């Protein structure tokens, strides 16, 4: 018996796991885009979330902004530059993943 005949199913599972892991990493790295803004008078993270968070929960979006900008508190100051996460447009591959039930 050859190695592939004896361990075919195990090799197939390892290959599929590796392929899906690589696809997931590439998908997430592609989505990590941001836009940089300058905070104006009266801006708050909550208010910015209303404009930029799209379909993401406000609290989760604010947490991402804090991590992206190394903020210790959600307080922002006028004139400060902030990076705001922006989702990439949905592509055909993303739609296929959604149809498969991944999201």
Per-residue pLDDT of the chain (103 residues; tens, 9 = 90+): 676 778 888 878 888 888 888 887 776 655 557 888 999 999 999 999 888 888 888 999 999 999 999 999 999 999 999 999 876 544 445 555 555 555 5
pLDDT of 92: 45
Tell me if 61 sits within 8 A of 85, measured CB to CB: yes
Q: Please count the residues of the chain.
A: 103
The whole-model pTM stands at 0.54
């Amino acid at each position: 018996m050859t190695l592939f005949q004896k361990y075919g199913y195990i090799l197939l599972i390892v290959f599929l796991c590796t392929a899906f892991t690589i696809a997931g990493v590439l998908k997430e790295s592609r989505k990590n885009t941001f836009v940089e803004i300058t905070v104006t008078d009266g801006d708050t993270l909550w208010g910015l979330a209303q404009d930029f968070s799209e379909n993401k929960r406000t609290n989760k979006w604010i947490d991402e902004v804090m991590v992206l900008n190394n903020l210790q508190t959600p307080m922002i100051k006028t004139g400060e530059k902030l990076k705001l996460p922006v989702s990439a447009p949905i592509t055909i591959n993303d739609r296929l993943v959604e149809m498969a039930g991944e999201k």
